[in-house]
Structure 1
Amino acid sequence: MTTRRTFLASLLAAGTAPRLGWAAAGNPAFLAAAKEHDESFALYGLDTDGHATFRIPLPARGHAGAGHPRRAEAVAFARRPGRFVLVIDCARGEVIHRLTPPAGNQFNGHGVFADGGTRLLTSEQASATSEGQVGIWDVDAGYARIGSFPTGGIGPHDLRLMPDGATLALANGGIATDPADRTKLNLDTMRPNLTYLDLAGETIQQVTLPPDLHQSSIRHLAIRGDGLVGFAMQWEGLPDSATPLLGLHRIGQEPTLAAAPLADELAMQGYAGSIAFSGDGRELAITSPRGGRLHRFSDKGDFLGAVSRADICGLAPRGKGYLASDGLGALFDVRSDERRALERHACAWDNHIVTL
């Protein structure tokens, strides 16, 4: 008797397997990487209530991910400096492609689909110099490497596609690192920037911070549907400086830096690990696993309040508020200054929750 499994296996062998949509993987709303209790690593699909729709092992620590816009394919990115990117068929639970960076390059933990899912763009840097590159991969050709272009800075990390589908926002952290041990080499002279590029790599605008904030490494991005960009920073200067960790920007304008009251800012310990707009888009938040804090701001940059939670980091829009995760396996809903437990898994969630 031919079963569904043997039928699909025969199609795979023939190279004619159907392109299954996300419904075949349980309709996940989010992706998140985690460390399991046995010290192994995995990528999870999560529904809106935090239930796991799939779990796929990873060979090492994962960081962020990207979901194909139409079919049940997820891309799992290794933690920076990374040597692997896995393309996973989430419906069948199989790794279908293993990507490696060109010689002399490393992956930097993030990537995004573009051109309707026909291209994958990856955040990379030259290992020797930390000069940033956007890698270009042809999805329909089996994720073949077809080119790259400069990011406009060094130490790039997050990159996001703007709502127009034709513009890339890129966080150049500004930090040169030793490829062997991640030692930071240029903290006195670092110069981060937020750069907007078209999909051919041409610069649209580059935003830098005031000179006294040149040690505020721009790391992570959130994009609202109307083009408002939030950027999260990590302070690399003297401790207890209480510098702003959140910025807001629109193309063609100057950035707005958003600060919390002094005691709240100090509690973040100079580190924002994730950023997201709320589900209704009226506000945005940043998290600090070091400080065990979530800070909420209006879309004008006004501080709205804080939520305390040990080792909180992952953050994504959910309902009118947020889905957040911590290093103890918990997933919870945040609205206003309240949090409500959703699920707890036997794992330690990594830094990010990616919306599908």
Structure 2
Amino acid sequence: MDSMVIDRRAFLAAIAAFGLMGKSAARADGRRSLWLAANLAPGRQYGLGAFDSGGHMEFEVALPGRGHGIALAPDGKLAVAVARRPGTFAGVIDLASGEATHWLEAPTGRHFHGHGAFSGDGRRFFSAENDYAEATGVIGIWDVGDTWRRVGEMPSHGIEPHDIRMLTDGHTLVVANGGIITHPDSGRARLNLERMDPSLVYLDSRDGGLLGQWRLPARWKLLSMRHFAVNDQGDVAIGMQYQDDDTTAPIIALHRFGQPIRLLDLPAPLPATVRNYCGSVAMSADGRYFAASCPQASLVTLWETTSARFLGTVAVADGCGVAAGGDGDSVLMTSGRRGAWLWSAQTGTVEITGAYVRDRSWDNHAVRLLL
């Protein structure tokens, strides 16, 4: 299938009135932490924004629709913002200039599932996609150096690949197959609850070979694997969403290659309040802690990775986006009702007070970058 690049002329003209063209603020000497997240600005314009630890805008790029996940290139020079499913666009952002350089479009018969990942050498980009005619998952392959030309695809070995991440070896791709069949004609309707098949897959991104696949016990077949985070040691922290309101299910898990998936229990009364929904997962930069957001309860849960010990919660209204914080043991949290906070195992929770973060409704995910 041939891919295409979005015609930017009409799009750029349409957004000019919002004043959201990419722009870069003055940068201090040396590297510093910034965060990227999709958002909704006043005037109902979707964008991708970068902000610093004070909550001040570094740059913002307008998006043609609602964004979802963001993938960072290994060298830290590029980011790809992927449309929320069943969207078909992805924007390639030059992080030095704060401008979009390419707009990718899913091929005919495909739509994006909101996430992507770079190969370890940065030469390939992999996009999680739905082949909706065949009701199966595929991973699209794009050649970064060849003007982002689509060069192929490989099976996700499941239905509805959602989040995907590259391990530190640079070629093992981890895929969370949500297991739910959807079709653009039906919006986000779930079409196969009686036949759901979620799984966590490890594949060789060089040839698509299946390295391993793990499923949950049969009683939890309605637990859709959605998002996850990985650390340098290969720990995978998983956030899930249960597709039945009549049963309370575990929605957070840990995994290591070759071992069973370990379901984690939230202490009472949290299971009744989170409504079987985990929105996003992120590791601290040192991998010692992870955050799993529960936006329907307006809570972010915090865990110690090695022991799987529950550390507590932070109240964040419609809090879904989480990312590594500026320090090794810290985590950033964003709100769908505007605002952002930083949590540290040492100092607790501090609100980021800059006007920019308090003026945007932040979407489901955030990522940390160093510039």
Q: TM-score, normalised by structure 2?
A: 0.85
What is the match of residue 208 of structure 1? Answer: 215
What is the match of residue 225 of structure 1? Answer: 232
What is the match of residue 324 of structure 1? Answer: 333
Q: Give, in angstroms, the shift of residue 317 of structure 1.
A: 1.4
Contact 1:83 1:107 in 2 (8 A): yes
Q: Give, in angstroms, the shift of residue 76 of structure 1.
A: 1.3
Mapped pair 1:150 → 2:155: yes
What are the within-5 Å matches in structure 2 for residues 193-342 of structure 1?
193-199=199-205, 200-239=207-246, 241-299=247-305, 300-318=307-325, 319=327, 320-336=329-345, 338-342=348-352
What is the match of residue 182 of structure 1? Answer: 188
Moved over 6 A (4+): 22-26
Going from structure 1 to structure 2, the CA distance change for 1:93 and 1:335 (only over 3 Å counts) comes to closer
Contact 2:39 2:363 in 1 (8 A): yes
Q: Give, in angstroms, the shift of residue 112 of structure 1.
A: 1.0
Q: Give, in angstroms, the shift of residue 289 of structure 1.
A: 1.1
Q: Give, in angstroms, the shift of residue 301 of structure 1.
A: 2.4
SS of equivalent to 1:177: coil
- Determine the C-alpha separation between the residues in 2 that align with 1:301 and 1:91: 38
Contact 2:120 2:169 in 1 (8 A): no
Q: Give, in angstroms, the shift of residue 306 of structure 1.
A: 1.7
SS of equivalent to 2:151: strand
Going from structure 1 to structure 2, the CA distance change for 1:201 and 1:214 (only over 3 Å counts) comes to same
- Determine the C-alpha separation between the residues in 1 that align with 2:236 and 2:293: 17
The one-letter amino acid of 1:129's match is E
Match of 1:114 among 116, 119, 126: 119
What is the match of residue 6 of structure 2? Answer: none
Mapped pair 1:79 → 2:84: yes
Contact 1:317 1:323 in 2 (8 A): yes
Decide which moves more: 320-329 or 142-151: 320-329
Aligned residue-pair number: 334
Contact 2:53 2:352 in 1 (8 A): no
Going from structure 1 to structure 2, the CA distance change for 1:136 and 1:23 (only over 3 Å counts) comes to farther
Cα offsets for 1:283-304 (capped at 9, x unmatched)? 2221011111111222232322
Q: TM-score, normalised by structure 1?
A: 0.89
SS of equivalent to 2:195: coil
Contact 1:28 1:45 in 2 (8 A): no
- Determine the C-alpha separation between the residues in 2 that align with 1:283 and 1:94: 33
- Determine the C-alpha separation between the residues in 2 that align with 1:224 and 1:283: 10
- Determine the C-alpha separation between the residues in 2 that align with 1:164 and 1:275: 21
Cα offsets for 1:170-201 (capped at 9, x unmatched)? 00000001322111011122010000001121
The one-letter amino acid of 1:176's match is I
SS of equivalent to 1:160: strand
What is the RMSD of the two structures over their aligned residues, measured on CA atoms? 2.0
What is the match of residue 349 of structure 1? Answer: 362
Going from structure 1 to structure 2, the CA distance change for 1:228 and 1:267 (only over 3 Å counts) comes to same
- Determine the C-alpha separation between the residues in 2 that align with 1:23 and 1:338: 27
- Determine the C-alpha separation between the residues in 2 that align with 1:302 and 1:285: 12
- Determine the C-alpha separation between the residues in 1 that align with 2:209 and 2:118: 18
SS of equivalent to 1:117: coil
Q: Whose relative contact order is higher, 1 or 2, with alpha carbons under 8 Å and at least 6 apart?
A: 2
Decide which moves more: 227-236 or 288-297: 288-297
The one-letter amino acid of 2:350's match is R
The one-letter amino acid of 2:208's match is G
Match of 1:58 among 54, 63, 73: 63
Q: Give, in angstroms, the shift of residue 24 of structure 1.
A: 11
The one-letter amino acid of 1:333's match is L
The one-letter amino acid of 2:367's match is V
Contact 1:24 1:72 in 2 (8 A): no
Match of 1:104 among 109, 117, 127: 109
What is the match of residue 34 of structure 2? Answer: 29
Decide which moves more: 145-154 or 52-61: 52-61
Contiguous gaps of at least 5 residues in structure 2:
1-26
Contiguous gaps of at least 5 residues in structure 1:
1-21
- Determine the C-alpha separation between the residues in 1 that align with 2:30 and 2:272: 42
The one-letter amino acid of 2:210's match is T
The one-letter amino acid of 1:253's match is Q
- Determine the C-alpha separation between the residues in 2 that align with 1:71 and 1:293: 30
